[in-house]
Structures are given as C-alpha cells and as structure tokens.
Amino acid sequence: MKKKYIIAPLGDSAIIIEWEQEISPVIHQRVLNTYHYLRSLQHIYILDLIPAYASLTVIYNARAARYAYDEVIRIVTDALNMSAAEVAVVSRQIEIPVCYDPSLGPDLLAMAEQKSLSVDKIVELHTQTTYTVYMLGFLPGFPYMGTVDDILATPRLKKPRVKIPAGSVGIAGAQTGIYPLDSPGGWNLIGKTPVRMFDAEKEIPCYCQPGDQVRFVPVSLEEFHELNHNRQ
C-alpha cells in the first residue's frame, strides 16, 4: 500500500512530514493528530512542532546525540503508523464577535458590488460557516481559516495596504483570517473583531490554535466599541 505521506530532512536540525498538498479537513486532521501526539511525548530531542495545512515540521536538537536524527525519525514513524483512534484530538469550538460595519471593513461595499450581493448577504455567508484554523503564520497568532463560501472567495488586493489595524477580518482566495497586529497586508477587509488575537504576556499568547473550529458572530458597531472598551 502506497504511503500517503513523505518524511524528508529540512536543514540540519528539522524534518518535515508532508501529506497530499491540498486544503482538506481530512488531511489536516492527520496533521493535527500527529502534532498533538508528538507534543504529548515531551521528548527531549524534539524542540518544536509547526503544523500547517498539509505538513508538520519537527525541529529537533541535533546536538543532543549523534543519533538524534535517527531517533526522531523512529518516533515520527511510530506516530504515523498509529491508528487514528489512538491519536485523535477533540477540537475547541470558538465564537468570535465581528462587526461588519463598512467603517471597520473598508472592502465590504466593493465586495458586495463586485458580487452583486447586499452587505447583509455577505455577512450572512461569512457567518454561516464553521471554519477550521489550519495554521498560524505570517504574523504571531494570525489564523489561516477555511474555507469560505465559494461566492465569497476573492483574490488578494493587487496593491497591499501599508497598515491594517489589529483585529481586522479579511478574505484572501478561499481563506479567511484575522490580523493580530497592525501590519501591512493584502487581504480584503470586511470587518473587525474586538478580540485580541495575540498577547505576548499570556501563557498561551495566540488566541486561536491549529484545529480550532471558529464561528463568527456579528455584532453592531455600538457593541463592538463596548467590547473593545471592556478589553482595555
């Protein structure tokens, strides 16, 4: 039977496990199962684990011993050979408030016009889906989530903005995400959340984690400002 993954060296102190390269909940569940199982081992050779859409990078301590690489390969192979039931992980269910007022979502009106939809319909389509957090990247705590309704899929802006406010909710292709910090960016902005997506002072600084199931809950502009004030 052909393996559905490959294991390859990545530099001199990491390996990468790659599954079929596509955005798929089934494939991503394999990534998460392996990620959480390896984390649970707390093995002294494994320094960090970085899950993505269809891959998992394992950073190991190459100086620990001459055979560190071989040992990590053995551990990873054992994990991959375990049954799904042995390594299954229960995902967190998260609701995130979002205000879809055009003053906070500067691309909302243009998107509605481009797709011949009302703003209310855009909001309805964006909030009716439960999204999987596939990975964190680009910025600390930036959750890449998918997938949006086909009607909402929109290419990145041709000219990225120089500064996007933290909390901005955007769409790029079939993905949706939230900017955790003020930064440049090219996603289509349709709203904003008062939730702080990254806080370096917390024990777990990133609000979202890979595998989380996220639903967006629409709030009014008044509710947004109240929630935003209360978090200060």
Tens-place pLDDT, residues 33-61? 999 999 989 999 999 999 999 999 999 99
Same fold, 5-87 and 93-230: no
Tell which residue, 140, 133, 131, 126, has the closest CA to residue 190: 126
DSSP per-residue string spanning 103-126: TT-TTHHHHHHHTT--HHHHHHHH
pLDDT mean values, one per 10 residues, the chain (232 residues): 81 95 89 91 93 95 87 92 70 96 97 97 97 94 95 96 97 97 97 96 94 97 88 64
CA distances from 58 to 7, 22, 110, 167 (A): 10, 20, 42, 30
- Residue identified by tokens 């089934």 is 26
Per domain, the residue ranges of the chain are 5-87, 93-230
pLDDT at position 1: 43
Q: Regarding the domain delimited by 5-87, which CATH topology (the fold level of the hierarchy) does it fall under?
A: Gyrase A; domain 2 (3.30.1360)
Q: Regarding the domain delimited by 93-230, which CATH topology (the fold level of the hierarchy) does it fall under?
A: Cyclophilin (2.40.100)
pLDDT at position 63: 87
pLDDT at position 86: 67
pTM of the model: 0.88
**Residues in Cβ contact with 168 at an 8 Å cutoff, skipping those fewer than 6 apart:** 104, 105, 178, 179, 185, 187, 189, 191, 192
Cis ω before 127 (30° cut-off from 0) = no
pLDDT at position 232: 58
pLDDT at position 83: 64
